[in-house]
Amino acid sequence: MEKLEDAIKKWLTANRTTGTLFLQRLVQERSIRGEESKAQAIIIEKLRQIGLQLDIWEIGSKELTSHPIFSSDRKEFRGNPNVVGIWKGAGNGRSMILNGHIDVVPEGDLDEWENDPYSGTIRDGKLYGRGATDMKGGTVSLLLAIEAIKNCGIKLKGDVIFQSVIEEESGGAGTLAAVLRGYKADGAIIPEPTNMKLFPKQQGSMWFRIKVKGRSAHGGTRYEGVSAIEKMIFLIKELQKLEMSRNLKVNDPLYEETPIPIPINIGKFYSGQWPSSVPDVAVIEGRMGVAPNETMENAEKEMEACLAKLAKKDLWFAENPPVIEWFGGRWQPGSLDTSHTLIQSVSRSFQKIKGTEPVIEASPWGTDGGILSSTGQTPVVVFGPGVTEAAHDINEYIVLDDVFEAAEVIALTLLDWCGVENKGGENHRRN
Amino acid sequence: MEKLEDAIKKWLTANRTTGTLFLQRLVQERSIRGEESKAQAIIIEKLRQIGLQLDIWEIGSKELTSHPIFSSDRKEFRGNPNVVGIWKGAGNGRSMILNGHIDVVPEGDLDEWENDPYSGTIRDGKLYGRGATDMKGGTVSLLLAIEAIKNCGIKLKGDVIFQSVIEEESGGAGTLAAVLRGYKADGAIIPEPTNMKLFPKQQGSMWFRIKVKGRSAHGGTRYEGVSAIEKMIFLIKELQKLEMSRNLKVNDPLYEETPIPIPINIGKFYSGQWPSSVPDVAVIEGRMGVAPNETMENAEKEMEACLAKLAKKDLWFAENPPVIEWFGGRWQPGSLDTSHTLIQSVSRSFQKIKGTEPVIEASPWGTDGGILSSTGQTPVVVFGPGVTEAAHDINEYIVLDDVFEAAEVIALTLLDWCGVENKGGENHRRN
């Protein structure tokens, strides 16, 4: 086995430039929601080159959109397919899903970026660009792992199912579609940016939109109106208290190092049409974290109860209750026992490469792992290169060393998990 | 003189339906910024019908846009003219400008309107619609006053200059253009909605835009970012304190009944692009009131000093100072002594119609009166039908009785101010 592992290390070292340029090319394609097709085309080209069996399809079937956990406000999925590449094993091995999402979040304030968000600039061992960390870097680790094994002439026993899905950032319709198409396995790795930690538990999360009324008036006599902005600020303070009380209840040791295990994030705030008018409507949109052992329904109820209590704290809210809508993204929570064989397998591979035990924590964000584990009945570990701080941030970047190290850990895990056919054989020559 | 006044009252009573339908038609034209032409066409038609000398021109000359108090972010003025109708007097009388603006503010939340904002619905003596109060009702009072006098066969000594201007809601470029075209007079009435009070003092005001930076991050680890929304909320609290300290300094007795003489209104708040991201930029837009005896520059300085002090209160602001921009609308403050003959003249007319002394207060908002008095050297009183509460609000309305009473007060003021040729004569027959 050590011979195989050495061969993989050598192949990854030898192919570092090619792999880096491939990641750069992938980052250079702006695959924000609804514009994923060109980046997917690059993936498809690579899968053909590796020689995997392709399954490319446009999601959006009735079965998908009527599924109880389907959640998306996207009207049109055509033209931006899900992509799966299958490497059938020789048999009698455990199967593994390797899942990455191709969609990236918007760029934020363009003026803040040092380089164009899609430059793919490489500097001091880092590759910059929207999606570098979340999660094209991780996806490239997956592809490098498969490529390395295949190019070392190794044949696995279990199936490897690589998935490049859309819609992760908006609630996971892409992965749900893959599950409904029949893709399940004995284990799954999702290389979201865990900074090489192992996350056996998935924080769930869901989007909300809260609308608050005011009463408009001329700004010069603003005391004759009621500012929806001021009322919304009042409401936000209450959400901050709710966040605090919910997090005080989290006692899972895996969250020990996490400042706010299940945050309530306000991502958008918009109100008003005219500087000289008192705004009559304010809207916020945000994301509520759901603990791995909590139901989505329970989290919803807590938020709704918090809003209902506003009526007692402010007369205006008694007469004008805020309206909440659970829209768009919903990521199911998920939980795998830390003693599961999948965690052990990845941990062993990690130990071999890094020489230390991996850090095992709970995921601070929702991933497609929730859907894969709940609906797909597939044990999931989230493990990948890149730091969470960089995800969704300006000047997003990934450390290239981590991409290749993650690829090596994943490759070794595949050898261990899926099993190797003719382990001692002569067929490990490079081809 | 009483005979003339009686004749005017009779004419206004007899023409109540026609006048009301004219106001309805004017309200039904949606004359928001950039779309004023159709409402102006209705005004032009009416001026032709009354028989005034027309002056119609598109504003935007170099002289205007390079003027020190010109303030507008509008790029295109073509197609939406200023309209002036001149009624030359017989001579030896005082001239009067009658100024109304044709532009209306946006509708706000359409769902909140009981009827379409441009329905012009009449119910229980009120006419509903965006602009009914601010200030098409007042403009119709002006036109009715002129029509009544002219139709009673009265010839005035002084000139009457009726103006229907654009851009009042965005900083007064329309009235500034009229001043620069040479329109000045011995007095001016602006029938903004004062609820039939007399406002000899103009609150000035100006728009501001404040941009605050945050640092984006994934919402699931929001503690790794800095929310621009939270920082903006902190900043707004400081603006509220500034508003309070500024208003404590206002000791003009005309502001005695005004809860907040010079408010700081936050009219817009926008931040963020994605529910699951920590927003990296937040922007507010608002309107800062300027006391009648204060300079715009002083008010600007106080706001800028308030923002500069944020650096001492919050380390983030020390490194990321908020950026303020004084954009768009600027309304000069103005002040006329309450003993001025113009105030006396309107007060006497008011007393005749209403049987009581008028309430004299300071204007809680900026009007074009600031430009007319400062740049145009024209004494201005703001007096008109409609209540401020309704202006810029949903379900904006005007009490029709007030429109006709204001018309009568203005007509009597014109007789008194401009003087009547052949006062006792036989030419007062209706024609």
The domain spans of chain B are 2-202+333-421, 204-330
pLDDT at position B391 over 90: no
CB atoms B287 and A221 under 8 Å: no
Picking from B169, B218, B282, the nearest residue to A388 by CB comes out as B218
Q: What is the CATH number of domain B204-330?
A: 3.30.70.360
- Summarised one tens digit per residue, pLDDT across range A63-72 is 999 998 898 8
- Summarised one tens digit per residue, pLDDT across range B262-283 is 999 999 999 999 999 999 999 9
- Summarised one tens digit per residue, pLDDT across range B333-377 is 988 999 999 999 999 999 999 999 999 998 888 889 999 998 999
Q: What is the CATH number of domain B2-202+333-421?
A: 3.40.630.10
Asked if A168 is an active-site residue, the reply is yes
Whether the CB-CB separation of B31 and B131 falls below 8 Å is answered with yes
Asked if A103 is an active-site residue, the reply is yes
CA A187 to CA A175: how far, in whole Å?
Answer: 15
Q: Do domains A2-202+333-421 and A204-330 have the same CATH topology?
A: no
What stretch of H or E contains A270? Answer: strand A264-271
**Partners of residue A122 on adjacent β-strands:** A127
SS (HEC) of chain B: CHHHHHHHHHHHHHCHHHHHHHHHHHHHCCCECCCCHHHHHHHHHHHHHHCCEEEEECCCCHHHHCCCCCCCCCCCCCCCCEEEEEECCCCCCCCEEEEEECCECCCCCHHHCCCCCCCCCEECCEEECCCHHHHHHHHHHHHHHHHHHHHCCCEECCCEEEEEECCHHHCCHHHHHHHHCCCCCCEEEECCCCCCCEEEEECEEEEEEEEEECECCEHHHHHHCECHHHHHHHHHHHHHHHHHHHHHCCCCHHHCCCCCCCCEEEEEEEECCCCCECCCEEEEEEEEEECCCCCHHHHHHHHHHHHHHHHHHCHHHHHCCCEEECCCCEECCEECCCCCHHHHHHHHHHHHHHCCCCCEEECCCCCCHHHHHHCCCCCEEECCCCCHHHCCCCCCEEEHHHHHHHHHHHHHHHHHHHCEECCCCCCCCCC
- Summarised one tens digit per residue, pLDDT across range B199-245 is 999 889 999 999 999 999 889 889 999 999 999 999 999 999 999 99
Q: Is A6 exposed, middle or buried (0-12, 13-18, 19+ CB in 10 A)?
A: exposed
| pLDDT reported for residue A179 | 98
- Summarised one tens digit per residue, pLDDT across range A57-110 is 999 999 999 998 898 888 899 999 999 999 999 999 999 999 999 999 999 889
pLDDT at position B164 over 50: yes
Catalytic residue chosen out of the listed positions B103, B280, B294, B408: B103
Picking from B209, B236, B265, the nearest residue to A219 by CB comes out as B265
The yes/no answer to whether this complex scores an ipTM above 0.85 is: no
Band (A423; pLDDT cuts 50, 70, 90): low
CB atoms A217 and B391 under 8 Å: yes
Give the contacts of A312 (CB within 8 A, at least 6 positions apart).
A318
Q: Range with the lowest mean pLDDT among A40-54, A323-337, B315-329?
A: A323-337
Return the number of CB contacts < 8 Å for A and B: 246
Catalytic residue chosen out of the listed positions B55, B159, B167, B168: B168
- Summarised one tens digit per residue, pLDDT across range B8-64 is 999 999 999 999 999 999 999 999 999 999 999 999 999 999 999 999 999 999 999
CA B35 to CA B163: how far, in whole Å?
Answer: 18
- Summarised one tens digit per residue, pLDDT across range A172-223 is 999 999 999 999 999 999 999 999 999 999 889 999 999 999 998 889 889 9
> Smallest Cα–Cα separation from A79: which of A62, A55, A60, A52?
A60
Band (A257; pLDDT cuts 50, 70, 90): confident
Residues 353-412 of B with CB under 8 A from A: 363-366, 388-389, 391-394
Q: Which of A33, A274, A285, A320 to mutate to test the interface with B (most CBs of B within 10 A)?
A: A274
- Summarised one tens digit per residue, pLDDT across range A283-327 is 999 999 999 889 999 999 999 999 999 999 999 999 999 999 999
